[in-house]
A and B are shown apart, each in its own frame.
Chain A
Amino acid sequence: MRDFLASIGYNGWILPALLLVPIVGAAALYIGGVGGRGSGSDDNLERAGDARAIALGTLTIEFLLSVGLWWSYDPAEPAWQAVVNLPWIGDWGARFHVGVDGISLVMVLLTTFIMPLAVLGSWTSVRTKLRSYYALLLVLTTGMLGVFMSLDLLLFYVMWEIMLVPMYFIIGIWGGERRIYASLKFFIYTMVGSLLMLVAILYLWVKVGNSSTFDYDTLVANASFTHRTALYLFGAFFLAFAVKVPMFPFHTWLPDAHVEAPTAGSVILAGIMLKLGTYGFLRFAIPLFPSAATTGWVRTGILVLAVIGIVYGALVAMVQPDFKKLVAYSSVSHLGFVMLGIFALTVQSVQGAIMIMISHGISTGALFLLVGMIYERRHTREIEAYGGIARVVPMFAVFLTFVSLSSIGLPGTNGFIGEFLVLLGAFRAAPILTLIATTGVIFAAAYLLWAIQRILFNSLDKPENRTITDLNRRELFIMGVLAAAILWIGIYPAPLLRRTEPAATRFVNSVTGSAATRTAAAVGASISR
């Protein structure tokens, strides 16, 4: 496979192609729709099939294209791979510089994997302005992929901001009742964080890049500041990413945005966009300012916030009457684990964090899809409105139970690997906090199992629930694919770990730079083989 890919020069064009294909698809949506009709509305449902098919086709091509990266990526090679480096803004030394390492690789694949499923999952739920809806989804794909592969800080920033606009419209136009409030909150929160990051990037460019380069490697290699400056700059990056993750006190936009967004929007938000924040920590905030990030009070503070997020998210999830909100809060909890893993700064915990990023994307994405599916049938997300529907919709019940178990972290599913690695790795760095974090796993079992019980198993006492139809073939297909992914990662994660391990090791070594991590690296390596 690798030889074949090399023979078509795959690594030379794949990343720009991945960014370009969705844009072409978005343009095709409009070209396909303009014919014959005025420039008026695109509410024409008869032609809706076209828009959906084009979007789905584009994203499927995108996925198939990206799969090659899995083989073409060489874990033994420490440098960036599939690099494309073209001039962009000569005056400022900004370049179109993209490339992947192990972490980017899995994030890119996660994105291209989730996107077509998200489109397929909202096949019938969105009924107005379809062309624009799918065009925005496609643009969003480009933005997210761009963030994961940018090696130029200006390009990264531009991609980071691009994502905001489509998501703002997706929530604000096709969302639920409080969509306007939710979308504005989402936009403003994210923007406040990212604008300060913009100043920090500019500062780096002026002081470190000598006003002539935004190149990631150059900036990382030469970044040295007084401690105070480093703290300010780290703070700017921290704010941008912490809002996105979201970490505990910055999380309030998340329940609103997730709940009000249409199904595909929630899936993308939870499945991919939250990871942009943690990815930002892994790629930018910590490697650029290791001294600030490892300062005692900073690191402890972040770890404490992460653990608060774990426990708080779980506890709040437990009392939610709205199932979608429950899933939203469970994200806060899971992402707390990721932050714990990243800032514990051991190879295992970092690898675990990456694993959670992937498995949370799949499991929570699947949960949101399931919520969307049942919502389309019953038009309510109140847990109390259901009860005993396992008898009516057996396939739905099977998948909901299965996905919930994977989200809880049952051994044999994807959720287990990540949380286990994080707790294992973090225990050595911060034993007490890790102990507290462990309770999050228990709470997760509590809130999800309790919710499942109330939805699926109690007595079937509401007449409207007797007529719900079970999953159709399209939905079964989506859930089948996701379930397969859950099982594959849960049972045989080695190929994934093998690909992320060098990157995780490099990350940890570059930050701590001490011999102490070498033993950890050995342990991490032994697990992944």
Chain B
Amino acid sequence: MRFDLATPSGLTAALGPEMFLVAGAMALLLWASWKPESDEHQRNVAIGSIVVTIVTAGLVIWYMAAGAVSGPGIIAVDNFRWASDLLFLLATLMAIALSMDYAKRVGLTIAEAHVLILLATSGMMLLAAARDLIIVFLGIELMSVAVYVLTGIQRRSGRAAEAALKYFLLGAFSTGFLLYGIALVYGATGATNLARIAERVTASGFSGVPMLSVGIGLLLVGFAFKVAAAPFHMWTPDVYEGAPTPYTAYMAAAVKAAAFAAFLRVWIEAFPAIQYDAPSHRALWYLAVVTMIAGNAIALAQKNIKRMLAYSSIAHAGYILVALVVGTSLGASAFLFYLVAYTLATMGAFAVVMAVAPIREEDEQVAAFGGLWRDRPWLAVAMAVFMLALLGFPIAGGMGFFAKWYVLQAALGRDQNLLAVALVLTSVLSAGYYLYVVMVMFMRPRPKDAQPVAPVPRLTGLVIGLTAGALLIFGVFPNPVLWFARQNTLPVPVPTMSQDMPGMIHGVAPGVAQPAAPPVAAIPTR
């Protein structure tokens, strides 16, 4: 399959899965508002959303299997896009499943919530495909607006309202940064298309131009806000804590992943030549280190498990930034692999939080997990697996270990030894709070005022079981996921400085897919 992106029909066809998803979402939206709110209606719409999601995933797989390619244009048609899409759709499925149980428990009957998830997901898919800064902006807005609403969907909760407002204001602010960055980059290069920008940047040695540097800096800020990298993470804990738990899970897993996917593509495709130039590369390097340290250090002090997981997600943004700093195909593979592990573990962890603390805020305290092992042993064991996976522990933590390993390997392959050591040492720090949860669950008695943990709702249990099972199985036999990550990596135009380390850039193993045709035609050595 080859798409000609210059023609409207080709462009439309290349956006097939997105088109279907949006169309399905629209149809569901009509249906959702057709009938009065009721629990049953809400459930039906949710099932409809799940069907739409699955069909979209089927379409994505079909495009992937058909080996779709395209000429240059505003969107990318490559495996990296499809792989990212599949991850978003997986997270979407789980989020819808969780929100069904959640809605039932708290008596939420807003059927549109499930449709909003679909709309946010379509924005994410656009982000993964974006090869033009304008598309990036569109994708981010489409995704964010839907998520702002989801955060505040529980109108009776003061916390949720606070979180939604905070998220909206700060999000709008950061989008401003992003937009201004786009404008400045356009001013400096005369293009918004990533390939064009790369061409101009490399050809005319623009990297010294202050306008471009400022533009890139503002882009960084915008992205750093969306992926919740320190010091642009301030919104994360409040929003994660206030939002209904299923949507928190969705934000922590999918929203972050989507922003990262776009970030990675922009970074690798638009600025290949200046990646390793000061100061933008240095800025990213420091961003990664600061994020790892701040996320982990502040997480240590958290009492509320949702807040703790929020800071943990910040720390993980730091780890993923390491893969980004590396900026190689290997880094992109590491990113995908990491995302699989991270999505599974995060979704699972929030699902457990939902099962243990469905409504009351007090139950969200880590201390409320005390003695969980006695009450619900399997829930506690699953939570331990998720915690150890986020910690990056082998076997018991499943593929979390290999995920960190992959990132470390990408970093060492680029001689980023200091970054690797920083990653490892901050991981030790994270043991403090992940193990704390495990310790509370297994070694503390149940707090006296705690309500007995209600039986785990079926779908939540399914999500927990599947994520924990997948983590453990891939923790022993990671080969399929490795294949997935390697196969769908982002082809990287080999930067000039790579010559000092031949064989290391793509050197994951013999048989690594070499970039077939770099999107940038040729990079003249400066």
Contact = CB atoms under 8 A, between A and B. Distances in A.
A71 interface: no
B509 A93 contact: yes
A199 B420 contact: yes
B417 interface: yes
A161 B478 contact: no
B382 to A, nearest CB: 12
A161 B443 contact: no
A514 interface: no
B51 interface: no
A395 interface: no
Chain B: number of interface residues, binned into ranges: 35 or more
Interface stretch (A181-189, A243-251, A313-321, A344-352): A181-189
A172 interface: yes
Interface stretch (A84-92, A414-422, A489-497): A84-92
Contacts of A206: 409, 412-413, 504
B482 interface: yes
B424 A183 contact: no
Interface stretch (A190-198, A372-380, A402-410, A453-461): A190-198
A39 B442 CA distance: 16
Contacts of A205: 409
A168 B435 CA distance: 10
B509 A202 contact: no
A303 to B, nearest CB: 28
B378 interface: yes
A89 B508 CA distance: 12
A477 interface: no
Interface string B406-426: 001100110001001100110
A179 interface: yes
Contacts of A164: 393
A184 B412 contact: no
Contacts of B432: 188
Interface in B479-520: 479, 482-483, 486, 503-504, 507-510
A203 B417 contact: yes
Chain A: number of interface residues, binned into ranges: 35 or more
A91 B486 contact: yes
A28 interface: no
Given A91-B479, A91-B482, A195 B395 contact: no
B388 interface: yes
A158 to B, nearest CB: 4
B395 A169 contact: no
B442 A172 contact: yes
Contacts of A196: 421, 424
B53 to A, nearest CB: 30
A184 B435 contact: yes
A90 B507 CA distance: 14
Given A162-B394, A179-B443, A188-B428, A202 B409 contact: yes
Contacts of B427: 195
Interface string B372-383: 001001100000
Contacts of B442: 169, 172-173
Consensus secondary structure, chain B interface: helix
A169 B504 CA distance: 40
Given A41-B374, A172-B442, A188-B432, A89 B482 contact: yes
A90 B408 contact: no
Contact of A40 (B377, B388, B409): B377
A58 B253 CA distance: 42
Contacts of A212: 509-510
Contact of B378 (A39, A179, A184, A192): A39
A187 B478 CA distance: 25
A180 interface: yes
Contacts of B388: 165
B276 interface: no
A203 B509 contact: no
B298 interface: no
A41 to B, nearest CB: 6
Nearest to B392: A195
B440 to A, nearest CB: 9
Nearest to A157: B394
A106 B507 CA distance: 39
A41 B377 contact: yes
Contacts of A199: 408, 412, 417, 420-421, 424
B424 A211 contact: no
B23 interface: no
A403 to B, nearest CB: 32
B286 interface: no
Contacts of A162: 394-396
A278 to B, nearest CB: 22
Name, among A162, A196, A206, the residue most crowded by chain B CB atoms within 10 Å (CB to CB): A206
Nearest to A195: B424
B431 interface: yes
B186 interface: no
A92 B409 CA distance: 10
Nearest to A197: B424
B416 to A, nearest CB: 11
Interface string B454-487: 0000000000000000000000001100110010
Interface string A89-121: 111110000000000000000000000000000
Contacts of A168: 435
A211 B413 contact: yes
Contacts of B396: 162, 165
B439 interface: yes
Contacts of A93: 509
A90 B394 contact: no
A183 B408 CA distance: 28
Contacts of A184: 435, 439
Contacts of A183: 439, 443
Interface in A46-94: 89-93
A420 to B, nearest CB: 40
B31 interface: no
B405 interface: yes
A239 to B, nearest CB: 12
Contacts of B405: 198, 202
Contacts of B509: 90-93, 211-212
A195 B428 contact: yes
Given A165-B396, A206-B413, A192 B428 contact: yes
A165 to B, nearest CB: 4
B420 A158 contact: no
A106 B509 CA distance: 36
Interface string B170-213: 00000000000000000000000000000000000000000000
Interface in A23-48: 39-42
A211 B414 CA distance: 12
Given A157-B394, A198-B424, A89 B479 contact: yes
Contacts of B508: 91-92, 211
B487 to A, nearest CB: 11
Contacts of A191: 428, 431
Interface of A: 39-42, 89-93, 157-158, 161-162, 164-165, 168-169, 172-173, 179-180, 183-184, 187-188, 191-192, 195-196, 198-199, 202-203, 205-206, 210-212
Given A39-B377, A199-B412, 12 more contacts: A89-B482, A91-B483, A92-B509, A158-B395, A161-B401, A169-B442, A172-B442, A172-B443, A173-B443, A187-B435, A210-B507, A211-B504
24 contacts: A39-B378, A89-B478, A90-B509, A91-B483, A158-B394, A162-B396, A164-B393, A165-B396, A168-B435, A169-B442, A173-B443, A180-B439, A187-B435, A188-B431, A191-B431, A195-B425, A199-B420, A202-B409, A202-B420, A205-B409, A206-B409, A211-B409, A211-B509, A212-B510
Interface of B: 374, 377-378, 388, 393-396, 401, 405, 408-409, 412-413, 417, 420-421, 424-425, 427-428, 431-432, 435, 439, 442-444, 478-479, 482-483, 486, 503-504, 507-510
Instruction: Return the 5 tightest CB-CB contacts between A and B, nearest first.
Output: A158-B394, A165-B396, A91-B482, A195-B424, A172-B443
